[in-house]
Amino acid sequence: MAAWKILRDFSYRRVISSTLGRSRHCFSSSSSSSSSSAAYAAPKIPHFSKRGRLLTGATTLGLVIATGAYVSTVDEATFCGWLFSATKLVNPFFALLDAEVAHTLAVSAAARGWVPREKRPDPAILGLEVWGRKFSNPLGLAAGFDKNAEAVEGLLGLGFGFVEVGSVTPVPQEGNPKPRIFRLRQEGAIINRCGFNSEGIVAVAKRLGAQHGKRKLDETSRTSSSPNDEVKAGGKAGPGILGVNIGKNKTSEDAAADYVQGVINVSSPNTPGLRMLQGRKQLKDLVKKVQAARDEMQWGEEGPPPLLVKIAPDLSKEDLEDIAAVAVALRLDGLIISNTTISRPDPVSKNPVAKETGGLSGKPLLSLSNNILKEMYLLTRGKIPLIGCGGISSGEDAYRKIRAGATLVQLYTAFAYGGPALIPQIKAELAECLERDGFKSIIEAVGADYR
């Protein structure tokens, strides 16, 4: 119940703090004492005449003024674009590091605000409302990147419409032995067998609670200073949406009890027996118990947070029919399609790394996940919001998922390779796709290929 209590207070609504996008630099200085060893003689400082000092100072001041004048002439949108483009320079450095080390550094950078902050409003055509909540754009970050909710503000500040943290387990667990993340760079893919490494629901709940308190304080001070300013959903200085992905502990014998403690992930290939929970009876029992736990809580004006189930792409037609039947019968709020795959489609199968055990994500998953997405859209007759996840690396990829039935979309692997610069690129490309085909909104395009 701890997770539901935090989510109740959190209300899935985030307001981005304007201070988090700024880099913090620490400078230290030290001076030698008068008793320093003579062996380390202080260097001679050249003498400058008074006129020379004045010229030097004037030159420096002139450079500062000139630089400031130049920057001031650059509009905010252009400067923001430069910052995002500049992050591409860091990508080769991360590529040299071990995959998990690079991942840890990336999360740490986002947590400290050492990433650009989106100052430009999202294209109006990308805005939509789902579950009574406004999204400035449909592009989200999938679970697995920020497993312990360390960098929510920084990641939302990058311009994602929503961020899903986790998977979070009820009690802390180390996950599988390292190495457990493997790059297939040429294929734009990753194989991971992390196994739900998590600090546990208590640590994550405390962290979200602290962030929530800070956000409320910032929101209060901002409102009191400018009461007439309208806060828009997402985009420039607006709130984003937070999702929490819950997974069961590896040694747990009672999956329902684990999931009741707070999207439901029954599809990771790296926890033994987890995918068995996608069967009709097991899934129905699980969803009913989690819904009951959620509905026991008192929520704010927006009501309880939506409950979604994340499914695998390696399902048979019968499995999909069972899941669709449960989702419709129990009025599930949504499905995330899909998790990683245990298959190794071409061209991945030819890569020696493909022999590693684990779930495959990235470009090779696009076609497989889109097929599952299409089937589930047809089986649910478009009655349930679907989040398309798997293989997105461009605005065209995101658009294909939306036309196949997705209301929202998520990415992860392409973000790991492309960095922050990929986010505004995908949003711009997606807006172009919609306009090109005559759609006036995201909702108009949802399921367009199969209506």
37 counts as catalytic? no
- Residue 30 has a CB neighbour count (10 Å cut-off) of 4
The answer to whether 167 touches 198, Cβ cutoff 8 Å, is yes
- Name the active-site residue from 268, 338, 393, 394: 268
**DSSP symbols for 98-109:** -HHHHHHHHHHH
Which amino acid belongs to residue 130? V
Long-range contacts of 205-214 (CB under 8 A, 24+ apart): 205/2, 205/3, 205/5, 205/6, 207/148, 207/149, 207/150, 208/6, 208/10, 208/149, 208/152, 208/242, 208/244, 209/6, 209/9, 209/10, 211/149, 211/152, 211/153, 212/6, 212/9, 212/10, 214/17
Contacts of 401 (CB under 8 A, 6+ apart): 369, 370, 373, 388, 392, 409
* HEC string for 23-86: CCCCCCCCCCCCCCCCCCCCCCCCCCCHHHHHHHHHHHHHHHHHHHHHHHHCCHHHHHHHHHHH
Active site residues: 268
